[in-house]
A and B are shown apart, each in its own frame.
Chain A
């Protein structure tokens, strides 16, 4: 939060409390402003929050622990498919006899507060499964192997409809349950005193809560023993080992914690979207999350948040500006939105590395704890 507050012009430097209030205010009223431009924009904000969770989780792995993970979206997929399996009619369709036997003729519909932890745990497990074999790998080799892991998971999603139909193959799973907080269905719009409150708002504030929770947790984590061990490991693995840091455990912890965030975000995504298919978990999405982290600034919470926000919103804004513009100029659409998005991401990656390798908001020195940095600067 502090890091985000520092970004507010003027106030960030001089009145930290006011700056924090501004950040909170912006977060709270953002969807109310967005709705003025149409429902799509609230939806974009919802997705931005999901991507923030992903970017925060990936930032743990890439930014804090220095392990470049190109298969991160696999954990998102694990979370989403867990939701799809445990909260949709799919189970009954795949195993009609068995489902009828246990009294679940219309599929399993477990409540949200049970499914989400299960998804998170499974994702964490997947993180450890990935982590073990790659313990000895570093740098670019690690990146390629994690990429392979992501692809393997995608191939399984695409093909595990035979001989047992678990993922329903390329079509994916439909009709997922929406989120239900103790009897309150988030997907249903509410009419209140003549006003219709769109369900997108409920999702927004719920996701916001999740993101804020994640930020607070990660902030504590970063300055904890674990966070410092990660920083030491990232900067020099050998030295870290020499001062008694258990590299193996720290790496596994980074992978599994990062994966947990992915799993939670995946569950939320499944519930929000209502369907899952392998298409949402392609390598491009892994790269997209990585670009958000890199663009914002590796190893930096504010960077992950801002990176995710900008890179989710910008393609949408471009879509609304560039399409009519192209129509007007050429009379046809030359670059469709998907192309624009890919162009934007790939250029962001290349140009950022060439011109500003530390990202939009460079991470503070070794410890992001402001008082440490300030003390260090004062002494120097």
Chain B
């Protein structure tokens, strides 16, 4: 029982990171119908630029309190990621609107690998230790179940950010413009919405969330490197599809569900397969879920959009 509770808790932590990243995928997909393959790389850039900032600050002013350091890292990471996302939309994707379906996707893969390469040049190939500024010493709320302060803060921060985003999309003028653009570019433009600006904003907003997710991800595992964004990116995409792509609530639900399935699955896979598969197969869950959802319920858990578009 404790194991199950523990795995559920771990799943919630990872799941909320997935959910944050999934929001970026789903917003862009909702508006452009594009899978922004490079979104995972934005997460990586967020983590690594925060790392550079924190290391630099620690060198200059080691007496700063850890939370302030982390805040400073975020303050650099978020604008950096926003700029990267803005540039990729402006320079690559914008020119491909209306191109044949495969062209934007192939470009997105190219952008993803380009960002990884650039990160490799800037930060090198090595794994970096990410300073764990929030304590990772676990506490025991229930006997036998452990959670660390950094994990608690991940859940809290994600929940706050998701709430803020939903409010932004549902309650503000800007959000209304975004929803209108997602519905129909041309009609939105006729209603006076600056479609190009809204699309750029969508990318930038998603990137800001990914930046925070990246810093949280790195703080949790204590590690950052140039390829760290790829797997979480794919999984977040899976989460977005699982929840129903284009649907904000779906992305959050999908993220949490995926995190739970992964954590619980990894905990029990060995028992279920009689020792044949073990927890090193953890990454397979996401792909199997992705395939299964697309085949049996392409609209996802909450989606109403039809996926049949070539």
B112 to chain A, nearest CB (A): 8
Task: Tell me whether A339 is interfacial, beta carbon within 8 Å.
Answer: yes
Q: Could you say which residues of chain B place their CB within 8 Å of the CB of A342?
A: 113, 116-117, 120
Which one of B112, B237, B291 has the highest number of Cβ atoms from chain A below 10 Å of its Cβ? Answer: B291
A28 to chain B, nearest CB (A): 34
Task: Tell me whether A349 is interfacial, beta carbon within 8 Å.
Answer: yes
Choose, from B55-63, B75-83, B161-169, B280-288, the stretch at the interface: B280-288
Q: Would A140 and B101 be within 8 Å (CB), given that A133-B295, A159-B280 are in contact?
A: yes
A69 to chain B, nearest CB (A): 11
Q: Could you say which residues of chain A place their CB within 8 Å of the CB of B241?
A: 141
Question: Which A130-173 residues have a C-beta within 8 angstroms of B?
Answer: 133-134, 136-141, 143-145, 147-149, 151-152, 155, 158-159, 162-163
How many Å lie between the Cα of A353 and that of B110 in the bound state?
9
Q: Could you say which residues of chain B place their CB within 8 Å of the CB of A162?
A: 278
B111, A138: Cβ atoms closer than 8 Å? no
B251 to chain A, nearest CB (A): 16
A145, B275: Cβ atoms closer than 8 Å? no
B273 to chain A, nearest CB (A): 10
Interface bits B15-55 vs A (CB < 8 Å: 1, else 0):
00000000000000000001100000000000000000000
Q: Could you say which residues of chain A place their CB within 8 Å of the CB of B102?
A: 68, 139-140, 143
The count of chain A contact residues (Cβ–Cβ below 8 Å) is: 42
Task: Tell me whether A209 is interfacial, beta carbon within 8 Å.
Answer: no
Q: Would A163 and B276 be within 8 Å (CB), given that A335-B121, A343-B117 are in contact?
A: yes
A349, B105: Cβ atoms closer than 8 Å? no
**Among candidates B34, B113, B291, residue contacting A345 with C-beta atoms closer than 8 Å:** B113
How many Å lie between the Cα of A258 and that of B99 in the bound state?
26
Task: Tell me whether B100 is interfacial, beta carbon within 8 Å.
Answer: yes
Task: Tell me whether A124 is interfacial, beta carbon within 8 Å.
Answer: no
Q: Could you say which residues of chain A place their CB within 8 Å of the CB of B101?
A: 139-140
Task: Tell me whether B103 is interfacial, beta carbon within 8 Å.
Answer: yes
Question: Which B268-310 residues have a C-beta within 8 angstroms of A?
Answer: 275-278, 280-281, 283-284, 286-288, 290-291, 294-295, 298, 307-310
Task: Tell me whether A350 is interfacial, beta carbon within 8 Å.
Answer: yes
A346, B114: Cβ atoms closer than 8 Å? yes
**Among candidates A140, A152, A284, A334, residue contacting B105 with C-beta atoms closer than 8 Å:** A140
How many Å lie between the Cα of A158 and that of B281 in the bound state?
10
A287, B113: Cβ atoms closer than 8 Å? yes
Q: Could you say which residues of chain B place their CB within 8 Å of the CB of A357?
A: 99-100, 103
**Among candidates B96, B107, B237, residue contacting A144 with C-beta atoms closer than 8 Å:** B237
Task: Tell me whether A265 is interfacial, beta carbon within 8 Å.
Answer: no
B14 to chain A, nearest CB (A): 18
Task: Tell me whether A294 is interfacial, beta carbon within 8 Å.
Answer: yes
B106, A349: Cβ atoms closer than 8 Å? yes
B98 to chain A, nearest CB (A): 12
Q: Could you say which residues of chain B place their CB within 8 Å of the CB of A144?
A: 35, 234, 237, 290
A290, B114: Cβ atoms closer than 8 Å? no
How many Å lie between the Cα of A350 and that of B101 in the bound state?
15
**Among candidates A133, A334, A348, A353, residue contacting B291 with C-beta atoms closer than 8 Å:** A133
Question: Which B93-132 residues have a C-beta within 8 angstroms of A?
Answer: 95-96, 99-107, 109-114, 116-117, 120-121
Task: Identify whether the interface residues of A are mostly helix, strand, loop, or mixed.
Answer: helix
Task: Tell me whether B92 is interfacial, beta carbon within 8 Å.
Answer: yes
Q: Would A353 and B106 be within 8 Å (CB), given that A152-B284, A346-B111, A346-B114 are in contact?
A: yes
**Among candidates B95, B105, B290, residue contacting A139 with C-beta atoms closer than 8 Å:** B105
Name which residue of chain B comes closest to A70, CB basis: B109
Which one of A149, A284, A287, A346 has the highest number of Cβ atoms from chain B below 10 Å of its Cβ? Answer: A346
How many Å lie between the Cα of A324 and that of B278 in the bound state?
47
How many Å lie between the Cα of A339 and that of B286 in the bound state?
29
B210 to chain A, nearest CB (A): 18
A148, B280: Cβ atoms closer than 8 Å? no
Task: Tell me whether A285 is interfacial, beta carbon within 8 Å.
Answer: no
A265 to chain B, nearest CB (A): 22
Task: Tell me whether A6 is interfacial, beta carbon within 8 Å.
Answer: no
A139, B310: Cβ atoms closer than 8 Å? yes
Q: Could you say which residues of chain A place their CB within 8 Å of the CB of B107?
A: 349-350, 353-354
Q: Could you say which residues of chain B place their CB within 8 Å of the CB of A348?
A: 110
How many Å lie between the Cα of A339 and that of B298 in the bound state?
38
Task: Tell me whether A316 is interfacial, beta carbon within 8 Å.
Answer: no
How many Å lie between the Cα of A68 and that of B277 in the bound state?
30
How many Å lie between the Cα of A86 and that of B206 in the bound state?
49
B291, A148: Cβ atoms closer than 8 Å? yes
Q: Could you say which residues of chain A place their CB within 8 Å of the CB of B278?
A: 159, 162
Name which residue of chain B comes closest to A294, CB basis: B106
A322 to chain B, nearest CB (A): 13
Name which residue of chain B comes closest to A334, CB basis: B121
A339, B120: Cβ atoms closer than 8 Å? yes
Q: Could you say which residues of chain B place their CB within 8 Å of the CB of A136?
A: 295, 298
How many Å lie between the Cα of A82 and that of B280 in the bound state?
23
How many Å lie between the Cα of A68 and that of B35 in the bound state?
14
Q: Which 5 A/B pairs are nearest by Cβ-Cβ distance? A: A349-B110, A148-B287, A346-B113, A346-B114, A350-B110
The 18 listed contacts between A and B (C-beta, < 8 Å) are A133-B291, A134-B291, A137-B295, A139-B102, A141-B294, A143-B102, A145-B294, A159-B277, A159-B281, A163-B275, A335-B121, A343-B114, A343-B117, A346-B117, A347-B110, A349-B106, A350-B92, A353-B103
Interface residues of A (CB under 8 A from B): 68, 70, 133-134, 136-141, 143-145, 147-149, 151-152, 155, 158-159, 162-163, 237, 284, 287, 290, 294, 334-335, 339, 342-343, 345-350, 353-354, 357
Interface residues of B (CB under 8 A from A): 34-35, 92, 95-96, 99-107, 109-114, 116-117, 120-121, 234, 237, 241, 275-278, 280-281, 283-284, 286-288, 290-291, 294-295, 298, 307-310
- In the complex, besides A144-B290, A152-B287, 19 extra interface pairs with C-beta distance below 8 angstroms are A68-B102, A138-B309, A139-B102, A139-B310, A145-B294, A147-B234, A151-B283, A159-B277, A159-B281, A287-B113, A342-B117, A346-B110, A347-B110, A347-B114, A349-B106, A350-B111, A353-B99, A354-B96, A354-B107
